[in-house]
A and B are shown apart, each in its own frame.
Chain A
Amino acid sequence: MQIENPLNASPLAFPILECIHIVGFAVSIGTIAIVDFRLLGLGMRRETPSQLGKDTFFWTLGGLIVMLFSGLMLFSSDPDNYYLNYAFDLKMFFFVSAIVFNYTVHRKAVESDTPNGKAVACISLALWACVVFGGIFIGFLNSTLDIHHI
């Protein structure tokens, strides 16, 4: 049975959702980066990492929720395509790793104001960068896969 996704009814729906997705990840990754740059000693040194962690907590979470739900809606527009795209698989792997890392190891390092947080900050930034790389490569692989009409 064919069910029409309302997202595919308007050609504007997908690009508008992409913009929401971009603003969502700018807020979440940006707030995480503020904390990571503090851990690296590259900014906000009048604050402690734990203070910044508390201040940005809800914005990080809010950004992640916006990013996740807009991402799910983007995915729903053409699931087969994403399913076959290995950049998408890699992106999901890095996304889950980044989320788990952020709310376990990263959170502990930030809350304890450890002076040795540089490695944690680097791993955090690297994981989120990998998620973004995955997102960009989805589009570049799609143009070579040519599986739009399965």
Chain B
Amino acid sequence: MLLSFALWIQATDFFTYLRGSGYVYPCILSMHMVTLAVFGGMILMTDLRMLGWAMRSRPVADVVDQLRVTKRWGLVLMVTLGALLAGCKAEEYYYNIFFRLKLILLALIIVHWLVFRRAVYARAAEMDRAGQVPGNAKLAAALSLLLWAGVACMGRGIGYVDPPFGIHAQLWPF
């Protein structure tokens, strides 16, 4: 069922155009990497602040609360661009082991968000008042660092797997 969805979506006019568009596809990929650098970097810095490794002269709440909206819009942009890229090669990506691992890590990030958002991320101001970051917050930060670094590395891995033989649509170099 997933495979037939992948075949359908990559055959739509929109994705057929994107796939054959020459410079447009690498520009979308570049924008995806720019959002990774800008907003991924902000995620890393938030985690590093919680671990007490960076920006220690700023309260935890200042970093966690004030970057939240920015990161959320960044994530929307990053996921949108990523979906455009995936739609172009949906069939090939369906078979790609790194794409599958990337989706699993992204699913784990949603689980991470559900588990820690109230217990940790909503309580940054309390941590500042108490003068220390509790163990579960440090665990959340460390897991977040690992998960996001993993997503970035799996994303890079996608490009290393050759498409399987007999695939219906491929990206042509310009």
> A interface vs B, CB < 8 Å?
15, 18-19, 22-23, 25-31, 33-34, 37, 42-47, 51-52, 54-56, 59, 63, 125, 128-129, 132-133, 135-137, 139-140, 143-144
State which size class the interface on B falls in. Answer: 35 or more
Name A's interface SS: helix
> B interface vs A, CB < 8 Å?
26-27, 29-30, 33-34, 36-45, 48, 54-55, 57-58, 62-63, 66-67, 69-70, 149, 152-153, 156-157, 159-160, 173-174
Distance in Å from the Cβ of A11 to the closest Cβ of chain B?
A: 9
Q: Is A55 a contact of B57 with CB atoms below 8 Å?
A: yes
Q: Known contacts A133-B30, A144-B174; decide if A34 and B67 are in contact (CB<8 Å).
A: yes
Q: Is A46 a contact of B37 with CB atoms below 8 Å?
A: no
The CA-CA distance from A33 to B74 in the complex, in Å, is 12
Contact residues in A for B66 (Cβ distance below 8 Å) = 43-47
Distance in Å from the Cβ of B41 to the closest Cβ of chain A?
A: 1
Q: Is A19 a contact of B58 with CB atoms below 8 Å?
A: no
Distance in Å from the Cβ of A30 to the closest Cβ of chain B?
A: 1
